[in-house]
Structure 1
Amino acid sequence: MRRKIILFFDGGVDDAFALWYSVRNPDLDVRGVVGDYGNMPRDIAVRNAKWLLRQLGREDIPVFAGCARPMTGERPVFFPEVHGTQGLGLIELPLVKESAGELHELLPWITPDVTILELGRMTSLATLMLLYGERWKGVQIYAMGGAFGVGNITEVAEANVYGDPVAAQLVLTSGADVTLFPLHVTMKAVLTPEMVSQTPLTALYEPYWRYYHSKNPALSGAPMHDLLPAFALTHQEALGFIRRNVDIVTDNGRCRGQTIADFRPGAKEAAAPAGTRLAWELEGAVFAEDVLRVLQN
Structure 2
Amino acid sequence: MSTPLLVDVDTGIDDSLALLYLLASPEAEVRGIVATAGNVPVAQVATNTLAWLDLCGADDVEVALGAATPLTIPLRTTEDTHGPYGVGHAVLPPPRRTTSPQSGAQLWIDVARAHPGEVTGLVTGPLTTLALAVRAEPELPKLLQRIVVMGGAFGHPGNTTPTAEWNISVDPEAAAEVFAAFSGLPAGRRPVICGLDVTETIEMRPEHLRLLAVRSGSAPPELLSPDDPPTVRSRASNPIVRHLSDAIRFYMDFHRTHDQGYLAHMHDPFAAAFALGRVPVTMRPATVDVELAGSLTRGMTVADWVGHWGREPNADIVTATDPVAFFEDLVERVGNLARTRGSAAIVAG
Q: TM-score, normalised by structure 1?
A: 0.92
- Distance in 2 between the 1:92 and 1:81 partners? 17
Mapping for residues 155-170 of structure 1, pairs under 5 Å: 155-170=162-177
Q: Distance in 2 between matches of 1:294 and 1:270?
A: 43
Deviation at 1:216, TM superposition (A): 2.0
Q: 1:113-168 CA distances to partner (integer Å, 9 max, x unpaired)?
A: 01000001000000000110113226300000111231010000101111111110
CA distance in structure 2 between the partners assigned to 1:49 and 1:10 by the alignment: 9
For residues 34-113 of structure 1, what are the structure 2 equivalents within 5 Å? 34-72=34-72, 74-92=73-91, 98-103=98-103, 104-106=105-107, 107-110=109-112, 111-113=116-118
1:222 equivalent to 2:264? Answer: yes
Identify which of 174, 180, 185 aligns with 1:173.
180
Alignment RMSD: 2.3
SS at match of 1:39: coil
> Cα distance, 1:95 vs. partner?
8.3
Identity of aligned residues (%): 28
Task: Quote how far apart the aligned CAs of 1:203 are.
Answer: 1.4
Q: Identify the match of residue 249 of structure 1 among 256, 271, 291.
A: 291
Match of 2:252 in 1: 209
Cα distance in 1 for partners of 2:66, 2:128 equals 8
Question: C-alpha displacement at 1:77, in angstroms?
Answer: 1.4
Residue pairs, 1:123-138, within 5 angstroms: 123-137=128-142
- Please say if residues 9 and 35 of structure 2, whose CA atoms lie closer than 8 Å, have aligned partners that are also in contact: yes
Residue 276 of structure 2 corresponds to residue 231 of structure 1: no
1:95 and 1:255 map into 2 onto residues whose CA distance is 40
Unaligned segments of structure 2, at least 5 residues: 214-240, 337-349
In 2: Cα distance, 1:135 partner to 1:247 partner:
19
- Listed one character per residue, the Cα deviations across residues 56-103 of structure 1 (whole Å, up to 9, x for unaligned) are 10100000000000011x221111111111011112358899433322
Q: Spell out, residue by residue over 1:19-69, the C-alpha distance to the aligned partner (whole angstroms, 9 max, x if none).
A: 110111112111111011000100000111110100010100000000000
8 Å contact 1:240–1:280 — kept in the other structure? yes
Distance between the aligned counterparts of 1:272 and 1:172, measured in 2?
13
Take 1:155 and 1:138, find their aligned partners in 2: how far apart are those partners? 36
The code of the aligned residue for 1:99 comes to T
Partner SS state of residue 64, structure 2: strand
CA contact (8 A) 1:244 1:269 kept: no
Measure the CA separation in 1 of the matches of 2:308 and 2:68.
36
Report if aligned partners of 2:36, 2:65 keep a CA contact under 8 Å in 1: yes
- The answer to whether the 8 Å contact 1:32/1:62 transfers is yes
* Unaligned 5+ runs, structure 1: none
Query: CA offsets per residue over residues 259-297 of structure 1, 9 Å max, x none?
Result: 11235xxx3699998421001001111111111111101
Residue of structure 1 in register with 2:195 after alignment: 182
* Residue correspondence of structure 1 range 15-34 to structure 2 within 5 A: 15-34=15-34
1:144 is aligned with what amino acid? M
Residue of structure 1 in register with 2:148 after alignment:
142
Query: Which secondary structure does the structure 1 equivalent of 2:317 belong to?
Result: strand
Report the count of equivalent residues.
292
Counterpart check, 1:191 vs 2:213: no
Correspondence for 2:232: none
How far the C-alpha of 1:252 sits from its partner, in A, is 6.0
Query: Per the alignment, in what secondary structure is the counterpart of residue 137 of structure 1?
Result: helix
Q: What whole-Å deviation, never above 9, does each CA across 1:155-201 have from its counterpart, x for those lacking one?
A: 00101111111110111111362101111110011211121132422
Name 2:320's counterpart in structure 1. Answer: 281
Tell me the SS of whatever aligns to 1:133.
Answer: coil
Rounded Cα–Cα distance in structure 2 between residues aligned with 1:269 and 1:28:
38
Larger CA Rg, structure 1 vs 2: 2
Matching residue's letter, 1:174 = A
Amino acid at match of 1:83: H
Going from structure 1 to structure 2, the CA distance change for 1:269 and 1:282 (only over 3 Å counts) comes to farther
TM-score when normalising by structure 2:
0.78
